[in-house]
Amino acid sequence: MNPSFPAAMAEPVADFSQDTWWIWLIKAVFIVLYLILSVILALWVERRGLGRMQNRLGPNVTGWLGFGQAFADAIKLMLKEDFTLKGAEKVIYFLAPVISALCAFSIYAVIPFGPEVSMFGITTPLQLADSSVALLYILAVASLGVYGLVLGGWSANSTYPLLGSVRSAAQVISYELAMGLSLVSVFLVAGTMSTSSLVEGQTDLWNVFICLPAFITYFISMIGEVNRLPFDLPEAEGELVAGHTTEYSAMKFGWFYLSEYINMLNVSTIAVIVFLGGWRAPWPISAINDGMFNEGWWPMLWLFLKTWTMMFMFIWIRGTLLRMRYDHFMKLGWKVLIPVALAWFVAVAIIQGIGSFTDIDTQMILIILAAIFLVIFAILWFIDDKSEPERTSRDGTVIDPKNDFDAFEGGFPVPPLPGQALPPSPRAKRAPAYSSTAKEADSDE
């Protein structure tokens, strides 16, 4: 970790000089198998986890504890009848799920699973590739992956998929800006965008303690990036049926489904690499026998456990929170996350710039600033504002929250607030007249 402003981006620490073509092939095949098996595990963990959270069993018949249910679903998708819409843009309609899946698989190419190991007599890092701009490559590929959602919804030539694709485009613009700004502040502190160098720089202290505001911003943004609750607006079943995937079936839908869960793994692993020490063991395990658990094949276990801790957060949030209203969703991205990420980036740049001319400990200053941010965030989170703002109806008159109620305040249908009551139904006025008429008819009979 560089204590001062970096003069230039550091080169990757991973050494691939001894790699051969068959080593690359082994690593590539391992990554593909790892992601596919991880998706199967994610489906089982999510179903069982949500079942526990919602006081139900979840899948428990097919296979051991229902573990075979994911395999049964995969077979169903492969054998299910496929169809093609007559009005669809057929080439793009077929390419859209391929784009999403290809981009999802490509991100793991620069993810370090561990340090150098001996593989069939060849010393090689547990990583397929690396670059001095590896994180920039990840952001670029992630941005391209959203084109699969956008093109899939547009090419179907149908209403609901189109609305889902438009929401995807707005979501990308909103939340990738916040995500990028949160990562840029870490680049300034670490002095590198290489994934292997980022892990190496967190030997003594993880970046989450130095750049806590950036981590919180990234964590919220990554949930919006992968369209998970409470940010699953592009495929909101209650209003868009299934969004961009409405007109897809069989394995074309399966590729979208697969890419969504792989992207969950991608953003979780990036959070681990950038903020949580990567493949390094957590303290105090890392201090045992001079860091013996940070050598050999052990680091793959720590990366797996950290990644699945982040994956479980996705499941926990899905079982806890409700879907956001779309205007609230956009407000959070543009008016909260982006300003916070930008303010933290400016603060880091100023502190690192001052540190390049003085001998101050920039790490300690950043840790203090992160602690202050956490305290302010906690205060704003837990303090309940009892004062109610003045509310006006559509015609501009002030609404008394205790007596009056505007069911379409702000242009949206809204329920009554605590202390308010719904206005009397027009049908209630007709009810006595109807009842008297019914009684007269009964008496005439």
Of 150, 169, 106, give the one whose Cα is nearest residue 245.
150
Task: Give the torsion sign (CA, 185, 189, 192, 196).
Answer: negative
**Banded pLDDT at 7 (limits 50, 70, 90):** very low
User: Exposed (0-12), middle (13-18) or buried (19+): which is 266, by Cβ within 10 Å?
Assistant: buried
Calculate helix-pair angle for 338-355, 159-190, nearest 10 degrees. 20
Q: Which residue has the tokens 């860091």?
A: 291
> Is residue 38 left, alpha or beta, with left meaning phi > 0 and alpha meaning psi from -120 to 50?
alpha
Q: Report whether 3 contacts 361 (CB < 8 A).
A: yes
Q: Report whether 254 contacts 74 (CB < 8 A).
A: yes
Task: Give the torsion sign (CA, 154, 157, 159, 161).
Answer: negative
Q: Report d(CA 209, CA 191) in Å as an integer.
A: 17
Q: Which residue has the tokens 């069911």?
A: 407
C-alpha 117: how far from chain center:
32
Q: Report d(CA 210, CA 213) in Å as an integer.
A: 9
Mean pLDDT taken over the chain:
81
**Banded pLDDT at 5 (limits 50, 70, 90):** very low
**Banded pLDDT at 271 (limits 50, 70, 90):** very high
- In 124-276, which ranges are continuous DSSP H helix? 134-155, 159-190, 195-200, 207-210, 212-225, 237-240, 250-275
Report phi then psi at 413, rounded to 5.
-70, 120
Q: Which residue has the tokens 């060849």?
A: 122
Mean pLDDT on 138-150: 86
Residues contacting residue 46 through CB under 8 Å, at least 6 positions apart? 314, 315, 318
Looking at the predicted structure, is the pLDDT value of residue 444 above 80?
no
C-alpha 83: how far from chain center:
31
- Which residue type sits at 69? Q
Instruction: Average the pLDDT over each of 9-18, 275-284, 327-336, 351-360 and give the range with the smallest value.
Output: 9-18
pLDDT of residue 2: 45
* Residues pairing with 124 in the sheet: 117
Residue 112, preceding peptide bond in cis (omega within 30° of 0): no
**Banded pLDDT at 384 (limits 50, 70, 90):** low
Looking at the predicted structure, is the pLDDT value of residue 307 above 90?
yes
More confident position, 425 or 247:
247
Q: Report d(CA 249, CA 237) in Å as an integer.
A: 16
More confident position, 391 or 144:
144
pLDDT of residue 427: 64
Mean pLDDT on 171-187: 86
Mean pLDDT on 354-367: 82
In terms of DSSP bridges, do strands 122-126 and 391-392 run parallel, antiparallel, or are they unpaired? Answer: unpaired
Q: Report d(CA 97, CA 93) in Å as an integer.
A: 8
Of 245, 254, 255, give the one whose Cα is nearest residue 150.
245
| Span 77-111, pLDDT tens digits | 888 877 777 778 888 888 888 898 899 999 999 99
